[in-house]
Amino acid sequence: MIDILLHIALVIGIMFALVLISAGLIWLERRTLALWQDRYGPNRTGPFGTLQVVADMIKIFMKEDWIPQFADKKVFVVAPAILMISILLSFAVVPFTPEIGVVNLNIGLLFFLGMSSFGAYSIVLAGWSSNNKYSLIGAMRGASQMISYEVFMGLSLMGVVMLAGSFNMRDIVLAQQGRWFFIPQFLGFIIFFIAGIAETRRLPFDIPEAESELVAGYHSEYSGMKFGMFFVGEYLGITLISAMTTTLFFGGWLGPGFLPPICWFLIKMFAFILFFILLRASLPRPRSDQLMALGWKILFPLSLLNLLVTGAIVLYYK
Amino acid sequence: MFSILRSIWLVFLHMFHKRVTVEYPEKKNYLPPRHRGRIVLTRDPDNQERCVGCYLCAVACPVDCISLQATEDENGRRSAEFFRINFSRCILCGYCEEACPTDAIQLIPDFEMSEYNRQNLVYEKEDLLIDGQGKYPGYNFFKHAGVDAGVKGKGGGADEDQPVDIKKLMP
């Protein structure tokens, strides 16, 4: 009984910590974007501008939460919730340390891939229920991008599964004790990372929300807390892809013993989050058709090739 | 592909550059002396007001923010009875400074004039008048003008000829 309660407390703690991290990402992103653009980010509110997050939260809560008359009300309200739910559920299988983790699913990786497909629903529902041409165009582009990049996201991870021998995330981390998987699976790592950027609709793949193009894309009709949920959901997605990359390719919590495992996990995860922000600072946005061409004509065959070669080598050594 | 990686690397190197932001209000930007900021009314080298109330600045102003009324003292020296500039309208273009014949109205590099109450942005003459000569020292209009306003007699100016005696035939 008591350990059930302890586990529930751990789960709530993990969820709370994740939402805190993604809220803190608001501040981190603005300051690091500014660092790479030769300017200061917010540095007036609070020490080093950290209270900017509180100011942003207060602003989002106070905004008028308006549902358009022409919108499909039930779907309109549910769409951002679906995004948050699918990403927070995906975090259930991420092994933070040997002790901390929500659940030890034997098909953890498959669950993660399923949840990321679920996330595509939120985009389509948001764009459709907004009943607005530009939102619909943004949603359709977003859906096409997410679905096509999901194809080889799963395929690129199959190499890791072959090397580790199971879908269980903890087994995958433990199998990297000899050598982290990004060395034998370098191509798989690159493809998975690019697919991850496309899944979270982050620059350079942010055509769906394209601030300067389709007004604001699929979330142009959203205001107040629902928009806040899309916003925080995007940062949660970044955190999720960084966590998955460190777990699957960079050894998760593994590292020399002078730091506790949770520190290693957090260091690696934040390194990838900073790389996400660096990509936003440096790359221009490709056109929709260039994006799809990259996905289907270049990355998909490369992931199939990776799968082929990894399978051949694993079979040869068995 | 290589150009993408090169872009990412170059942007990453920006981390080590100095930031170009000037953190106002702790640090301020350099403003050259001819920067068009707040309007002031200046005085002579003899500490009299330069403004002669000629209305040229009010006419030149593109947004009609200057309002004044001329008056004359017992010597015939003109000045402004009231001189009002509405800074909520003023666009700091400097046309009034170019139009002024006596170098009275000038623009100085000060722009920090924020107010909470809009009426406080209407500056009267006592708010605009300064004790110095501004950007053009040493110029006294009445030493060059033709009139006798108590500063010099007719024909006494530096670049003036003596007045012609209308009752004589000689040039």
pLDDT digits (tens, 9 = 90+) for B66-100: 999 999 988 889 999 999 999 999 999 999 999 99
Q: Which residues of chain B have pLDDT under 70?
A: none
Tell me how far apart the alpha carbons of residues A310 and A144 are, in angstroms, rounded to a whole number.
Answer: 29
Tell me how far apart the alpha carbons of residues A83 and A67 are, in angstroms, rounded to a whole number.
Answer: 18
B27 CB near a chain A CB, below 8 Å?
Answer: no
State the pLDDT at residue B70: 94
Identify which has the larger pLDDT, A226 or A275: A275
Distance (Å) from the alpha carbon of B125 to chain A's nearest alpha carbon? 38
User: What percentage of chain A carries pLDDT values higher than 70?
Assistant: 97
Distance (Å) from the alpha carbon of B37 to chain A's nearest alpha carbon? 27
What are the domain boundaries of chain B?
A: 23-136
State the pLDDT at residue A235: 92
Q: Do A281 and B11 touch (CB under 8 A)?
A: yes
Identify which has the larger pLDDT, A221 or B122: B122
SS3 content of chain A, % helix, strand, coil (to 5): 70, 0, 30
Residues of B in contact with A38 (CB under 8 A): 14, 17-20
Nearest to A38 among B7, B10, B19 (CB): B19
User: What percentage of chain B carries pLDDT values higher than 90?
Assistant: 64
Nearest to A39 among B12, B15, B20 (CB): B20
Give residue A267's Cα distance to chain centre: 17
- With 0-12 / 13-18 / 19 or more C-beta atoms within 10 angstroms meaning exposed / middle / buried, residue B22 is exposed
**Non-local CB neighbours of A78 within 8 Å, separated by 6+ positions:** A125
Q: Is the pLDDT of residue A295 over 80?
A: yes
State the pLDDT at residue A216: 61
Residues of A in contact with B8 (CB under 8 A): 278-279, 282-283
State the pLDDT at residue B53: 93
Q: Do A283 and B21 touch (CB under 8 A)?
A: no
With bands split at pLDDT 50, 70 and 90, how would you rate the model's confidence at A65? confident
ipTM at complex level: 0.85
Fold for B23-136, please state it: Alpha-Beta Plaits (3.30.70)
Q: What is the mean pLDDT of residues A258-268?
A: 90
Tens digit of each residue's pLDDT (9 = 90 or more) over A140-170: 888 888 889 999 899 999 999 998 889 999 9
Give residue A63's Cα distance to chain centre: 26
Q: Is the pLDDT of residue A303 over 90?
A: yes
Q: Is the pLDDT of residue A270 over 90?
A: yes
Nearest to B11 among A39, A40, A282 (CB): A282
What predicted TM-score, i.e. pTM, was given to this entire model? 0.85
DSSP annotation of A130: T
A278 CB near a chain B CB, below 8 Å?
Answer: yes
Tell me how far apart the alpha carbons of residues A10 and A100 are, in angstroms, rounded to a whole number.
Answer: 8
**Phi/psi zone of residue A201: left (φ > 0), alpha (ψ -120 to 50 degrees), beta?**
left
